[in-house]
Amino acid sequence: MRIDVVTIFPEYLAALDLSLVGKARTSGLLDLQVHDLRTWATDRHRTVDDTPAGGGAGMVMRPDVWGAALDEVIQGPGTVLVVPTPSGPTFTQETAHAWAEADQLVFACGRYEGIDARVAEHYRAAGVQVREVSIGDYVLNGGEVAALVMTEAVVRLLPGVIGNPASLVEESHGEAGLLEYPVFTRPVTWRELDVPDVLMSGHHGKIARWRRDQALARTAARRPDLVAALEPTALDKDDRAT
């Protein structure tokens, strides 16, 4: 997969050299490039913004600069152009799975009051898959952190990125529709708190049942909306609300 991030703060994306995303880049599983938007500015001050049409506070990012950048960076019909914005629908694990199938993701990181709305409109009309998405109901200073969040969520789903693909199966927000059960490791007793006996029993069937019950209880307590959204077929005969 190829990922391109266009930003006025390329240094913000330095974290993409680290950990699993960094390894995916060095192993060739991921071709990730970060571009400085100012490269495409045409005046000697390398200006990327201007005052809002209609007046008001702040500055808006210019469509001509973004257009020049995106014309060069977008590779073809398999590209998803992601425009992070607090006014979009929320990015979810389902979105991450869908984008993991794309040939290319391009993140257009806004700053100030955001990017002139004609940019998304233009590329959508040109047949590009444009996704204006939020990472949550709060406002950040720019799209860079959102691009980091979404890149990590997508890249860890690419085949070969996570050493043991089984790690992806029982996760929160996965197919089961439940949050993950609590996890423990050694020491068995820590500050007078014990690892639950069943996890030390070696009885795989009982451990699986306990984990399922814990996942159900945790989801009911923390995210009742997820329980309400479960299909009846998602519950097995031994499931019980605790």
- Shortest distance, position 132 Cβ to ligand SAM, whole Å: 9
138 in a known ligand binding site: yes
141 binds ligand SAM (CB under 6 A): yes
Q: What are the backbone angles phi and psi of residue 218, rounded to the nearest 5°?
A: -65, -40
Q: Which residues from 95-124 bind ligand SAM, rule CB under 6 A?
A: 109-111, 113-114
Give the binding range for ligand SAM (CB under 6 A) out of 13-21, 63-71, 92-100, 129-137: 129-137
Least separation in angstroms between residue 183's CB and ligand SAM is: 29
In the complex, residue closest to ligand SAM by CB: 110
Q: Residue 23, exposed/middle/buried by CB under 10 A (0-12, 13-18, 19+)?
A: middle
Among 142, 218, 226, 235, binds ligand SAM (CB under 6 A): 142
- Residues 143-162 interacting with ligand SAM (rule: CB under 6 A): 143, 146
Of 161, 159, 129, the C-alpha closest to 24 is 161
**Which H helix or E strand runs over 3?**
strand 2-7
Q: What angle do CA 220, 222, 224 make, to 5 degrees?
A: 45
Which positions ≥6 away from 227 have C-beta within 8 Å?
A: 216, 219, 220, 241
Was 110 annotated as part of a binding site?
A: yes
Our finding on whether 56 is near ligand SAM (CB under 6 A) is no
Which uninterrupted H or E stretch holds 60? strand 60-61
Q: Which residue, 62 or 111, is less far from ligand SAM as judged by CB? A: 111
Per CB under 6 A, the segment of 43-51, 133-141, 151-159, 183-191 that binds ligand SAM is 133-141
Closest Cα to residue 218, out of 182, 184, 183?
182
The one among 87, 164, 185, 189 contacting ligand SAM by CB under 6 A? 87
Kindly state the helix (H) or strand (E) to which residue 35 belongs, with its residue range.
Answer: strand 31-36
Distance of CA 120 to the CA centre of its chain: 19
Q: How far is the CB of 148 from ligand SAM (least distance, A)?
A: 11
Output 54 or 159, the one with its CB closest to ligand SAM. 54
Among 66, 70, 82, 85, binds ligand SAM (CB under 6 A): 85
Separation of CA 216 from chain center? 25
Residue 131 DSSP SS3: strand
Residues that bind ligand SAM (CB under 6 A): 84-87, 109-111, 113-114, 134-136, 138-143, 146
